[in-house]
Structure 1
């Protein structure tokens, strides 16, 4: 390796740049391990020593950014630390990791999520949990968030916001921490190791009495929310994605709705006859036009939400009393998927495409299902079959005639009168 007397600025400036790669020049004036690494454009001061049996090269700074005198002084200080048994490299890592806040770790994790192609809905879900339950920790160093603190916070969230929210928030914290730990291996394992997660049972509730459910829906006075629940029941779509539906993404002539932002990926949803008619009447609803204007961009608008669209998906006030069976918007999704699988016998590929679930992989992680791309017209046929089944269930006392039922006709007349 080339050597040079690195005691003057001129000596450093005179070191030639190679045509490619890097060339280290080591000082021969007595400061062992001190050198300048010369690249094609830049020069960098370094100190290289063996620490605990391993060769370590520590960057001191770029030539021109720090002076030669400062670089030599810093090198001498590091040599002293090494002689005293300290590993300066590890110390720097510890200082960096120890100072990383939860906010910085979250920013790092967001970059990873973007590279993996996570949807905006997933980002929003993470951000919501952080804002609601971890905001007071954002500017705290990660190392200050103890195992006991994580356990106590999990319990508090469970008591105030429910067990599913508590578990979900701790999973968010764990994911962020694990990404930070890949950057800084010296970080301890996530404090969530001390969290006793609440048991989460599979949600087996589905609508069992469709005529009763339909009768209850007809008594909801707000036509926007009434149509919102009917849409969920007849599509199996996620509530959050549906609340953000815009008319610009509705093409009634092509009989499709395009969801640009979903939990998984963009969705082009084919529509049955009933769904097309539902949207036509929703768009022409006089009450909605009077309140929101004819140019309102939201399919399901709201006067109460800052966003301008529905944000509260659950039944409100006394509405639950209208129904014999307790249910939620997600129960409607479960009901649609269960009926599609158990009653209508729609293929798994079509079920997943229509409800925007990722293709199913086998136990040996066979990616075969990922190569199945159902045709839009075939999907529309499956959608129509599901609609016909649900309409038949709603009017179970009478057989279907031309795809419409007495109760459904009453609903359409009621909407048209608004």
Structure 2
């Protein structure tokens, strides 16, 4: 559980929930530095303050006052004021009682140093991932690393791992063989992050991170993108795909360069035909990375087609999702295809987008903005992205779409799978091909379709 702040009283303390594991702090709103450490079986009144020497902060100490079951809150608060006054003068409150001014620090260090991986993970999850709005997929990835790959370490104190880095290195070697080099590296990055986060509130943990003992596996970027010369064959493969909704999903992924997982959760309400944008509210990095994708003519037509097919094939799911499907979520959840049927999909298309952007003369900076990449450098912080979407980025998006379609040539004229799908009056022929009646478009959608 995370720390809380309340007005401490006998009644309030009695009603505090006990944590399933570890402990948390209930801080007093009236007296700064006064709180209760709430554990599974015990609740202890405690104070914390800075010892000062010659006007400068020497150290921060915590001193226990007494068991909450044996001491009233009023008496504990009175003692807390006395302790805090002594601490502010550079005196340890219990120095005269037990002759050991460092005992309070020692007890605290022993308690916090015993924090387990499970407790540190829970704190990292709540205080870092959830509080900072990380996406569900990101959190799921971290959870898989900790709760599955490190399941036998959940009750192991972080201090034990820090003092035995060879154990961590051996675990990395084991994961590399059983789960692959990328998964092994990713899990160790998770462990490193959790340890560093735990050490912020526990300086008794060693500075050296146990994950530093790992001999990292070499990771290479998968170069699976296509060039403009490869696209005609891929378009033909895509045109022969049975499911028209999946077909439009792959095409739109190519034309926008977005991560497939972000598009899967797109909704019709995210489309703004007037501004010619598709809003992505929760991309990788969470809601704070939300952005608008500017739409080219080809992208608008793709959205119009998928809206029509969605309403006809999955009328119930199409009310909520842009790419509906018969799945538990109601939208496309699995977008992998048999490579013998469709050779490129997913992140292959994201790499292809970046390759075509370069061929179309789009600058690296603009391509990163279109793909919602982080832009390094101080000056990038002064770029107001949404101001560029209306004109500049849309023209760059159109240049990329034009380059992607340029290799199709006369394939869109006459008869054939490509012309049936993307050629003149294609909508009627495609609907006839799948023996479907075209779902009606709204007035605005029809106007946009004709304009595009």
Same fold (TM over 0.5): yes
How far apart, CA to CA, are the structure 2 residues paired with 1:105 and 1:179?
Answer: 9
Distance 1:56 1:247, change over 3 A: closer
Instruction: Report the Cα offset of residue 77 of structure 1.
Output: 9.4
Q: What is the aligned partner in structure 2 of residue 224 from structure 1?
A: 245
Instruction: Report the Cα offset of residue 371 of structure 1.
Output: 2.9
How far apart, CA to CA, are the structure 1 residues paired with 2:33 and 2:112?
Answer: 29
TM-score normalised per structure 1? 0.72
Given candidates 292, 298, 312, the residue that maps to 2:321 is 298
Alignment of 1:199 onto 2:214: no
Q: Per the alignment, in what secondary structure is the counterpart of residue 293 of structure 2? A: strand
TM-score normalised per structure 2? 0.67
What are the ranges of 5 or more consecutive residues in structure 1 without an aligned counterpart?
A: 1-37
Alignment of 1:175 onto 2:193: yes
How far apart, CA to CA, are the structure 2 residues paired with 1:47 and 1:229?
Answer: 58
Q: What is the aligned partner in structure 1 of residue 354 from structure 2?
A: 337
Distance 1:151 1:270, change over 3 A: same
Alignment of 1:384 onto 2:398: yes
Distance 1:122 1:212, change over 3 A: same
Structure ID, larger Rg? 1
Q: Per the alignment, in what secondary structure is the counterpart of residue 331 of structure 1? A: helix
Contact 2:46 2:65 in 1 (8 A): yes
Q: What is the aligned partner in structure 2 of residue 22 from structure 1?
A: none
Contact 1:121 1:261 in 2 (8 A): no
How far apart, CA to CA, are the structure 2 residues paired with 1:130 and 1:311?
Answer: 24
How far apart, CA to CA, are the structure 1 residues paired with 2:325 and 2:401?
Answer: 27
Give CA-to-partner distance per residue, 1:280-320, whole Å, 9 cap, x none.
1111116x63345264412223324x3332232432xxx21
Give the 5 Å matches for 1:106-117.
Answer: 106-108=122-124, 110-113=126-129
How far apart, CA to CA, are the structure 2 residues paired with 1:168 and 1:372?
Answer: 33
Contact 1:259 1:266 in 2 (8 A): yes
Alignment of 1:409 onto 2:419: yes
Given candidates 73, 89, 114, the residue that maps to 1:65 is 73
Give the 5 Å matches for 1:175-324.
Answer: 175-188=193-206, 189-208=208-227, 209-264=230-285, 265-285=289-309, 289-291=312-314, 293=316, 295-304=318-327, 306-315=328-337, 319-323=338-342
How far apart, CA to CA, are the structure 1 residues paired with 2:292 and 2:240?
Answer: 31
What are the ranges of 5 or more consecutive residues in structure 2 without an aligned counterpart?
A: 1-29, 36-44, 52-57, 83-92, 435-452
Given candidates 161, 166, 169, the residue that maps to 1:151 is 169
How far apart, CA to CA, are the structure 1 residues paired with 2:269 and 2:59?
Answer: 62
Alignment of 1:346 onto 2:359: no
How far apart, CA to CA, are the structure 2 residues paired with 1:268 and 1:251?
Answer: 10
Give CA-to-partner distance per residue, 1:68-102, whole Å, 9 cap, x none.
89999xx779843628xx64303312321213443
How far apart, CA to CA, are the structure 2 residues paired with 1:184 and 1:301?
Answer: 48
Q: Per the alignment, in what secondary structure is the counterpart of residue 237 of structure 1? A: coil
Instruction: Report the Cα offset of residue 271 of structure 1.
Output: 0.8
Contact 2:294 2:390 in 1 (8 A): yes
How far apart, CA to CA, are the structure 2 residues paired with 1:360 and 1:140?
Answer: 38
Distance 1:236 1:406, change over 3 A: farther
Instruction: Report the Cα offset of residue 345 of structure 1.
Output: 1.3
Give CA-to-partner distance per residue, 1:322-370, whole Å, 9 cap, x none.
35xx5441121111112212x1111233212211112232xxxx43564
Q: Per the alignment, in what secondary structure is the counterpart of residue 357 of structure 1? A: coil
